Structure 1
Amino acid sequence: MKADHETVSIRLAGDRERPLIENLSQFYIYDFSEMETVGSRQMEFGDHGFYPPLPDIDCYWRIEGFRPLLIYVRQRLAGFVLVDTRSHRGGRVEHNMAEFFVARKHRRRGVATEAIRQILLLYPGHWEVAVAERNAAAKAFWPHAITAAPNICRLVRFEGNGEHWRGPIWSFRTVPFGVDK
């Protein structure tokens, strides 16, 4: 499958679709759990056999600038994205890629890169993408995915200061499609 705008689509999740993101977040947390250090008390199942919900998940349906998005491949649910306005360098930013998840079945096929391309075209402005220091795959993926979008300018990589974030933070602007950078 060649991932492109005909096979991959992004939709804003409404209230009725919140359970989809909550359910998919279980797989997202599960994927992250393998990066926890031995003896960590983080990312443990609760007594009911599920992970606790993502922190502040309800904000994505209540706060201006917070966006819950769903990723579809050929009209089938394939992942989710949470965009907010929290900067990992302190303060606020127009758009922050807070959480990004594509189901394993669709990874390494261009789906994530195409989803990011579409999101960055949909929401022009100042962006940040922060990646946890321990997430080697994401550290390799994000610079490629960001620069694959046609409307990127002023891309800068920062290192988290250990207080707000540990790991790389990519800061950049996206311009509306068709506008010169």
Structure 2
Amino acid sequence: MSLWVEAVRATTADLPAVANLFQLYIHDFSEFWFDSAQGELGADGLYDLPGNLDTYWHDPDRAALLLKRDGRLIGFALLNGHAHSGKPADWNMGEFFIVRKHRRAGVGTAAAQAVFARFPGRWEAAVARRNIGALAFWRGLAHSHEDVEVLDLNTPNWNGPILRFTVRAGAMPSD
């Protein structure tokens, strides 16, 4: 298997696929919610999806992307302009998910870089404090770009590190 990964704009016809992947995403994330009501299964055996999921297809300040490896669906990315830091940002990585089979070996990094290539500008990635693996992943990605700023918030709206960085149009990340 190669590392050819692409980020493709999701159409409204792709919403069910993203909703299905979102079930896996919530399942993975639920381990960080052990002390809260979040992440509980409904009576139908499904997790509740966020009520604003469809806005990623209709709001011009949001984007839903399918992540594909060699043409096969491996995850999704949901982008928005909501900066947890309160500072200006062109894009925030709202949600990013790679199915377990395709994690490691650089696939997630290649997928994120494919997203960045499509959306240059000032970026922000907020990481839940308990998600140590994601923090290492996003730190590595941020530091492959310019103007890196690391913030740490503990507010009612966000609790965790926030990585801010600039992706230049046409720029290849440094190793």
Q: TM (normalized to structure 2)?
A: 0.92
Corresponding residue to 2:168 among 159, 172, 175: 175
**Structure 1 residue 77: deviation in Å?**
0.6
The Cα offsets for residues 38-80 of structure 1, whole Å up to 9 and x where unpaired, read as 4x22111111110011241011011112000001111111000
Please give the alpha-carbon distance, in whole angstroms, between the structure 1 residues aligned to 2:93 and 2:123. Answer: 8
How far apart, in 2, do the equivalents of 1:164 and 1:58 lie? 22
Matches within 5 A, 1:27-176: 27-38=24-35, 40-90=36-86, 93-148=89-144, 152-176=145-169
- 3-state SS, counterpart of residue 139 of structure 2: helix
* Kept in 2: contact 1:133–1:166 (CA 8 A): yes
- 1:4-32 Cα offsets, whole Å, 9 max, x none, are xxx21110000100111001000000001
Q: Give distance in 1, aligned partners of 2:38 and 2:25.
A: 14
Residue 126 of structure 1 contacts residue 174 of structure 1 at CA under 8 Å; is this kept in 2?
Answer: yes
Q: What's the TM-score once normalised by structure 1's chain length?
A: 0.89
Q: Sort the Cα spacing of 1:146 and 1:55 in 2 relative to 1 into closer, same or farther, 3 A.
A: farther
1-structure distance, mates of 2:153, 2:59: 26
Aligned residues: 172
Q: Which amino acid aligns with 1:44?
A: E
- What CA RMSD, in Å, does the superposition of the two structures yield over aligned residues? 1.6
Q: Give the counterpart letter for 1:45 in structure 2.
A: L
How high is the sequence identity, in percent, across the aligned residues?
37
Match of 1:26 in 2: 23
CA distance in 2, matches of 1:175, 1:91: 19
Unmatched runs of 5 consecutive residues or more in structure 2 = none
Structure 1 stretches (4+) deviating beyond 3 angstroms?
Answer: none
CA drift of 1:2 comes to 4.8
> Which stretches in structure 1 are left out of the alignment for 5+ residues?
none
Please tell me whether the aligned partners of residues 90 and 164 of structure 1 are also in contact (alpha carbons under 8 angstroms). no
